[in-house]
Structure 1
Amino acid sequence: MITMAGKTIRKWWALFALPTFAAFLVGFVVPFIMGIYLSFCRFSTVTDAKFVGLQNYTAAIADKEFWRSLVYTVAFTLVTVIVVNIVAFAIAYMLTKAVKGANIFRSVFFMPNLIGGIILGYIWLLLLNGVLAHWGRSITYSGTYGFWGMVMLYCWQQIGYMMIIYIAGLQALPGDVIEAAAVDGASSRQTLFRVTIPLMMPSITVCTFLTMTNGFKMFDQNLALTNGAPSNTSELLALNIYRTFYGRAGFEGVGQAKAVIFFLIVAVIAIIQNRLSTSREVEA
């Protein structure tokens, strides 16, 4: 039976949807299409764009720093996806057990996610430089230091957020399946790897997707922590695109071309990862 509210929504749904649809068009679709067009242009402002064909893409592909930053970003993303998801799941698994003060621990682990990336970058810059000072080094001494510094920063920020998603997934697991495994004599280890984790695949898919895309897109923490030093060897791809676009006069189109290439790479990887993870999901 359709209620009065349901009839009203059916009649006026377009009116309710129009503001959101208009905001989506203005805030995403139009800038996205313009960005693709500008990647084929030489410009300094949107109004003086001149079509140059594939010149910007040729220059972007020929830029060695672009490819070095891409490899650096892929390595960073692989490490952080593995570390964040394993640690976040382990913490969530422990906090769903009968642990005294579990709610306090959940809040403490989640708090770093509430701090802005720029602030986090400067905080960790002070912390890491304080530790490295004992060896006469700094976070900007080498790209390796910058890499592991960003890994620690990113993991510290993201683990709490992913932990919340994993906790929600663990609490939604069907209790009868877990009980049936225990009745059949399955050990805690067998239950975890053969029952819990397979049933947790939807949550794992979401968390893996989020950590991967956020890792690829990381910018503000990189800017604050190392700013690409030394000699851009700790520069992630988002920072490389920013430097190309704003740091070199006349290279705005090249920076835009790099952004489009970046989008395509992340989109393809995200689709592949999502399909692989989804294919391993099981029905409860």
Structure 2
Amino acid sequence: MTNQSLTFCQKLLLSLTAVTSLSLAIAPQSHAMHIMEGYLPGGYCITWGILCLPFLLAGFFSIRKTLDTNRKALVLLAMSGAFIFVISSLKIPSVTGSCSHMTGTGLGAILFGPASVSILGLIVLLFQAILLAHGGLTTLGANTFSMAIAGPVLSWLVYTLCKKLNVNRRISIFLAAALGDLFTYCITSIQLALAYPSQQGGTLTSAVKFLGVFAPTQIPLAIIEGILTVIIVIALETYAQPELKLIGYYKEAKSYE
């Protein structure tokens, strides 16, 4: 790693630490979009946890392969995890009395693929449940599936599709991060609707209601997340080009601008 890249990473980690400390200090004590502890019936908790297992297994092997190939990727991998932790810990009160927040998983999905992000997201959700009472241990499977699996998969698919269509890279990153964020909340709404279907209209009506709860705040937050992700990638392209090349980010760069 070059001295310039090392200095950049040190400054970035210092900034992330400061923001994390701030988020710990000001996090509101209201329900967050992570499904809270005890909210889902036991059977649903177990089912969502089982559904996560193959994705987590794939993520473990993906990270191991990445690090075996290039140990320097650990810095970017850790930064992606820190980015997820910081911005998904900043809970924004919504007009409905609940909270919304960004997810931050689009960055990792773009750099390392969705499999690796499943592990990063699981670690983040586990720490948030223990340290911030943000989400829960019984609902860890459901939250992992929506935020660390479904969202990153869509982000990666959107970015890959845009790349094939020769869409501008900045626009591709924005769309991938923003749509991945929104998709996370769509999946969470479906999870809640399956557990608590409406007496009139069933699961579909319930899902629409849950989506309506978070839409007023989540749509602008998704836009903000897309912009932040673009800014982070621009900074990495400026100060950490060697590391990005080593993980394959610049592959086909000449034909994709």
Q: Would you call these one fold, judging by a TM-score over 0.5?
A: no
Give TM-score scaled by structure 2 length.
Answer: 0.30
Q: Which has the higher contact order (CA 8 A, sep 6+)?
A: 1
TM-score, normalised via structure 1 length: 0.28
Higher Rg of the two aligned structures: 1
